Structure 1
Amino acid sequence: MAGQPDFLVTVPTRGDGRDPLRRDRGGWQPGGHRPLPPFVTDLRAGASGPFDHLAQIGRAAELAAIGGALVPFDPAGEESLVVAAGLLRQSRHLRVVAGFHPGIATPVYAAKVSASLQRFTGNRLGWQLDVELDPAVARSQGDFLQGADRYARAEEFLSVAKGVWHEEGYTYEGRFYQVLAGGFQSPNSGLPFPRVHLTGSSPEALALSARHADVHLFTPDQDIETAIGELAALSAREGRRVEYGLRLPVLARDDDDEAWAEARRLWELTGDGGLPDPDPRTRLWPGFHRIAGSGPSGLVGSYATVAAGIRGYLDRGVTTFVLESRPHLEETYRLGERLLPLFAKEIEHVH
């Protein structure tokens, strides 16, 4: 039986733009800004700052009744926790998930920052812990752990963060972290811990999620059904229930022809040869890495076609959908106004 969908949008941390080759929105590519048209008479510098475009995306999600936003960890982009804090401050209802890796700080400090954000924003912060980084990226972040040690550290990170959050006088001694008589006091105690989102399909990733995740996020290229079955069994042994999510690139328009015409237009701008065909079995199109800078495979088609694809994942147990679509501002309005209403009955049960 299908579950009830929860939708989030992805917020860009490395600029945005109307075509794949430009990311000048949000203060990126300053040398590549388009000149202002001659009818623009207000030429004041600083009228719009780097955060303003991100704030517009968050506001668009809230106005379009999209439940939340994911600010992914991006070593070459803006700091996700800072962006998340800004979005939470600028909104009243939007839930914001901040992506980061366990090497960012001690778990006590990460928990303390998050406790303040929870208190200031009505408990709307979530975490996405990125455990498996490309080795070169990890080293550039000062993180030289490899293999199973990454998951061992993530296990300790989450255990300590939850420990100081929930228990005054908390003490812990592990391989990576030690705490002596820690723990938060009022008013930073007693708050809901951020909902934890984890990723991956390895045995280590699924075992970590079984013990700590509230939501496990997959990608369309993974064997989702097999992984869900394994994770369900593991989490049941832990006496827990984990929800299943999907990071899903989408390009939706009024009809299929219009959607594919837009995909073709964006693809041609990249100068990358002929447009690839969707997978005949899954209908997933493998070209999003070129036109949107997101995961490689996603759904292209009319709003009804994309909704049908999402319902197929709902039928397999996925209930959280982190939608990725560029340009983020315009597409957030499109998705909220045209796609989500097709799930109105299901969403009413959630809210």
Structure 2
Amino acid sequence: MTEFFVTLPTRGDGVRGDWHPDFQRPLPPSFTDVRQGVYGPFDHLAQIGRAAEIAGLTGVLAPFDPQGEESTVVAAGLLRQNRNLRVQAEFHPGIATPVYAAKIAVSLQRFSGGRLDWRLAVDLDPDVARSQGYPLEDRYARADEFLTVAKGVWHEPGYTFEGRFYEVLNGGFSEPPFIGQAFPRVHLSGTSPEALALSARHADVHVFDPGDDLEAAIPKLPGVRYGLRLPSPAGRDEEEQAAVIRDYIDRGVSAFFLEVEPHIEETYRFGERLLPLLVKEGAHAH
């Protein structure tokens, strides 16, 4: 089954919500409620999530943005707002200890019926990493330990770990209702040897960028599914956009992360016009 996710504008889109309070251009009522304080940033994100669910897409990605809304908070709100939508929260491993990150995730899995995914942003821009207090050195080794510990406390009561970056003594979730929840599916990215090695060890899905050499990277990722970041192709009609997706599916890609604008309208358009073309070929949202 092929999965389709819409990437959310966690820093706003410059038009809807209250991210730009000085932006005074009036908009038609069909686009937004222009009354100040009535239509906020989460209303916009909630409408995109609702559009994705109605359109038959798999879910949404709340990306990490140092100046945007916190992705885990956005994920929690959207999981609560929708019954079937998967929500992927992207964050860097310095956001919290792996034990605390796992505790947040186990609660979100309980509340949502297991619809939370993780994406780790490991290879941050150096300036962004410094602004976040995220160490630049040994970032892939640190991410490896982060995921090892998070999975360890999730699955093993009394879990103990002593590593370079984290130490845990007799940790883990040992009591119901925490035990038995599905660990978030882990999405990773990057084409460096370190990134591919981390994915081979921990990823459920490895997400590529357009232009990455899939044929060179895929043999290094046994047992891992492949995803692709897919910017909106300007100037292409539905048949051309569907052909691009079919080609990637034939090359082994089974998860697509759509970057579309305007988000609500284009999400509905994808579901109404593009998805039926893909269903004909056996590729449809899961």
The answer for the alignment partner of 2:256 in structure 1 is 321
Kept in 2: contact 1:64–1:336 (CA 8 A): yes
Alignment pair present for 1:186 and 2:176: yes
The answer for the alignment partner of 2:243 in structure 1 is 308
Kept in 2: contact 1:9–1:70 (CA 8 A): yes
Residues 182-232 of structure 1 deviation map (CA, whole Å, 9 limit, x = unaligned): 001211111000000000000010011001000000001211111112223
Distance 2:149 2:68 in 1: 28
Query: What is the aligned counterpart of 1:337 among 258, 265, 272?
Result: 272
Alpha-carbon spacing, 1:303–1:180, altered in 2? closer, same or farther (3 Å): same
Q: Which has the larger radius of gyration?
A: 1
Per the normalisation by structure 2, the TM-score is 0.94
The answer for the alignment partner of 2:6 in structure 1 is 9
- The Cα shift of 1:144 comes to 2.6
Query: SS at 1:131's partner residue?
Result: coil
Distance 1:193 1:33 in 2: 44
- The Cα shift of 1:43 comes to 7.6
Q: Write the letter of the residue equivalent to 2:92.
A: H
Alpha-carbon spacing, 1:87–1:222, altered in 2? closer, same or farther (3 Å): same
Residues 237-285 of structure 1 deviation map (CA, whole Å, 9 limit, x = unaligned): xxxx10000011124xxxxxxx53xxxxxxxxxxxxxxxxxxxxxxxxx
Q: Sequence identity of aligned pairs in percent?
A: 68
Alpha-carbon spacing, 1:334–1:43, altered in 2? closer, same or farther (3 Å): closer
5+ residue gaps, structure 1: 17-22, 233-240, 252-258, 261-300
Distance 1:343 1:36 in 2: 34
Alpha-carbon spacing, 1:30–1:324, altered in 2? closer, same or farther (3 Å): same
Counterparts of residues 59-208 of structure 1 (less than 5 Å): 59-146=50-137, 149-184=138-173, 185-208=175-198
Per the normalisation by structure 1, the TM-score is 0.77
Distance 1:34 1:43 in 2: 9
Distance 1:303 1:80 in 2: 31
Query: SS at 1:53's partner residue?
Result: helix
Alignment pair present for 1:223 and 2:206: no
- The Cα shift of 1:44 comes to 5.4
Query: SS at 1:220's partner residue?
Result: coil
Alpha-carbon spacing, 1:220–1:43, altered in 2? closer, same or farther (3 Å): closer
Alpha-carbon spacing, 1:6–1:62, altered in 2? closer, same or farther (3 Å): same
- The Cα shift of 1:27 comes to 1.4
